[in-house]
Structure 1
Amino acid sequence: MANTLLNIRVGSFNFTATLEEENAPQTCAALRKMLPFSNKLIQARWSGESAWVPMGAFPVGVGYENHTSHPAPGELLIYTGNLSETEILFPYGACLFSSKLGQLAGNHFATILEGRQKLKEMGQIILWQGAQDISIELALAE
């Protein structure tokens, strides 16, 4: 079975990611229902070199699955809420996923494959220039 790919656009940056369907099938199924997705990506406050999409009390309907507090750059997480609000975490460098309540763990649902070399630059723009538009959609099959 071929991996499902996502097209992710952040400001002027384009990324291709693979869904982590083998390790997080319920999370990926929930994410598919949210697509196409668009919002704002802002600098994280407590998680180091990472940006996030705050989603309030959005009900994802999935518990912990393939969860981590230490995502590598380009390993996208969704926090399904309980201690803090629902959010998507988009690490671009060294990251320890946290909130004002302390360390969190989010479900690793996708990994950037193409465009990884631009993550640091994207992060610097978010840090110094502010919120950027983000869109996530399924990649069209070729």
Structure 2
Amino acid sequence: MTTVQIEIGGERFPARFEAEAAPRTVAAIRRILPYEERIIHVRWSGEACWIPLGDLDFGLGYENATSHPAPGQFIIYPGGVSETEILFAYGPVAFASKAGPLAGNHFLTITEGLETLAKLGRETLWTGAKSIRLTAA
């Protein structure tokens, strides 16, 4: 399984796992699929939405880590300085928390529909949380 279907607020996006670059992270995410939650807009990082996961421990270290995910890229911060979280960029991002700059493992990339993703991200900023669902395609 290398593809994922992402649904955010009723919109669907095809995506691919970054299995070569982040094999342990992809394996951890595959174990929780299908995954359903709500996204909220980030507080510190720019044009992105996130899923706060508190002190959930996936047992991950860093692999394929970035502080500047591109639009459509999903990263997971494995915890430590700040809480565990999944973040996806819809525009420019400098991933950070109130404790300062962070890096997360890039594990998933949306392959189509980035213009719609940006619209959903801005809507989340102004109107609040949206549903998100990740399923194996």
How does the TM-score come out when normalised to structure 1? Answer: 0.94
Which residue of the other structure, out of 24, 28, 42, is the alignment partner of 2:40?
42
How do 1:23-34 and structure 2 match up within 5 A?
23-34=21-32
Counterpart CA distance in 1 for 2:83 and 2:22 is 20
The number of residue pairs the alignment matches comes to 137
1:64 to 47, 62, 65: 62
The alpha-carbon deviation at position 45 of structure 1 amounts to 0.1
How big is each residue's C-alpha offset from its partner over 1:25-81, in whole Å with a ceiling of 9 and x where there is no partner? 010001101111111100000000000000111111110000000111001101110
| Aligned residues: CA RMSD | 0.9
Give the TM-score of the pair, scaled to structure 2: 0.97
Residue deviations 1:75-129, cap 9 Å, x none?
1101110111111001110100000100000000011002222121011110111
Mapped partners of 1:137, 1:82: distance in 2: 28
1:19 to 2:17 alignment: yes
In the alignment, the residues of structure 1 paired with residue 54 and residue 16 of structure 2 have an alpha-carbon distance, to the nearest angstrom, of 25
1:114 to 112, 115, 126: 112
Structure 2 counterpart SS, 1:124:
helix
Task: Percent identity, please.
Answer: 51
Partner residue in 2 for 1:5: 3
Superposed, 1:90-101 pairs within 5 Å as: 90-101=88-99
In the alignment, structure 1 residue 105 sits paired with structure 2 residue 103: yes
State the alpha-carbon separation in 2 of the partners of residues 137 and 23 from structure 1.
Answer: 20
Alignment-derived partner of residue 133 in structure 2: 135
Structure 1: stretches of 5+ with no match in the other structure = none
More deviation, 103-112/116-125: 116-125
Question: For 1:61 and 1:115, how far apart are their aligned partners in 2?
Answer: 32
- Structure 2 residue runs without a partner (length 5+): none
Q: Distance in 1 between matches of 2:117 and 2:52?
A: 19
C-alpha distance in 1, partners of 2:23/2:70?
20
Give the aligned residue type for 1:41: I
Q: Determine the C-alpha separation between the residues in 1 that align with 2:40 and 2:136.
A: 22
